Amino acid sequence: MIEKKRVVITGLGLVTPIGIGVDETWSAALSGKSGIGSITHFDASSFPVRIAGEVKGFDAANYIEAKEIKKMDRFIHLAVAAATMAIDDSGFRITGENAEKVGVVIGSGMGGLPAIEHYHKAYLEKGYKRISPFFIPMLIINMASGNVSIRFGAKGPGSCPVTACATGSHSIGDAARIIQRGEADAMIAGGTESCITALGIGGFAVMKALSTRNDEPERASRPFDIDRDGFVMGEGAGIVLLESLDSALSRKAKIYAEVSGYGMSSDAYHITTPAPGGEGAVRCMKAALKDAGIGPEKIDYINAHGTSTKYGDELETTAIKTVFGEHAYKLCVSSTKSMVGHLLGAAGGVEAILSVLSIYHGKVPPTINLDNPDPECDLDYVPKTAKQVDVTYALSNSFGFGGTNACLIFGKYRGN
């Protein structure tokens, strides 16, 4: 049996509702800043839901040439920006010599929904000739990976998971395994999403999945709180640069953390509701622990899926207690969705980075708006204020519609 290569994280890139860039986002997360506000991407005045976590002040021209911007929808813009940040942060350079050993795995949950809405309207009003020749490349989800690969000349393994809210985590986990098998030396991986549109908001609104706390947007996303009334949609991108440990050491790279474990499972239960007792989540967390080769007591922090929905929060809490037993009450669990909202396909990428930063800086971001904890949710959710914690291992949970689950475990790098 071939020994799997160790995989480390050497570059980070974030575009979120609370900041453009890693430093801005991390600082805002530690201070408990909310990025939720009134929707500006479209006229939501007639909708029951008029709030979302929009990225503020983002200018694609800071990352992409003007003639290329119009060929991409916003979810691609965000991915290119976050990937650029991650590569720049890592100091890694893709050259003719190493290009075939550098790959890209970036996914999205819904892809180019804004383009679909825009050009469908143009077609209905003025006919098919008003559809852009770039329409198809704007909307298909793998074009986030594709454009990043083209832009940086990464000729290695390329893929694009589309697994709803678990997409970003599956992307990072799948990319790590590619390196572990020796098929690449480095991978650009994560998730991206931008579908705050009439159809996107409307579709979730008619499911009664979204918060309608329109008059208090900054208090609307409240995971584990008894007064929560649904999740808040967000947008953004979270991209990492993964490397084999050998590659990182050879160039004396800064190492944020190690990818220690990756678990996957399916609920095989319902298209939107988690399995009873969080059974699928239990198996997924156990699979990640087994892959990492550690016991549950080694985990210090869990970045929860924590969407701010009744069943989701309660069942995740139950699943954590099932897996961790008494240790569940000793570790920190927080939901950063309380600040940025639910970024759907980008959530796992953003939350993986926040988990990695908790290890690197020894600080755990809070769950804001946790005023009245649900009695069924009785763990330490780091309410309102960040904590200084020596995090050796962090677990990031992502559970998606369709019953698809992904768990990532990151560990403090302690040398080879």
Q: Which entry of 165, 284, 332, 377 is annotated as an active-site residue?
A: 165
Q: Which entry of 160, 170, 305, 332 is annotated as an active-site residue?
A: 305
Residue-wise DSSP of 216-267: -GGGT--TTBTT---B-BB-EEEEEEEEEHHHHHHTT----EEEEEEEEEE-
Q: Is 342 a catalytic residue?
A: yes
3-state SS class at 397: strand
How far apart are alpha carbons 85 and 62 in whole angstroms?
11
Residue-wise DSSP of 31-86: TT----EE--SS--TTSS--EEBPPPS--GGGTS-HHHHTTS-HHHHHHHHHHHHH
Neighbours of 277 (CB within 10 A): 12
402 burial type by CB count under 10 A (0-12 exposed, 13-18 middle, 19+ buried): middle
How far apart are alpha carbons 167 and 344 in whole angstroms?
8
Closest CA to 164 of 23, 346, 13: 346
Instruction: Name the β-bridge partners of 259.
Output: 410
Q: Which entry of 284, 342, 377, 407 is annotated as an active-site residue?
A: 342
How far apart are alpha carbons 68 and 65 in whole angstroms?
5
Catalytically active residues are 165, 305, 342
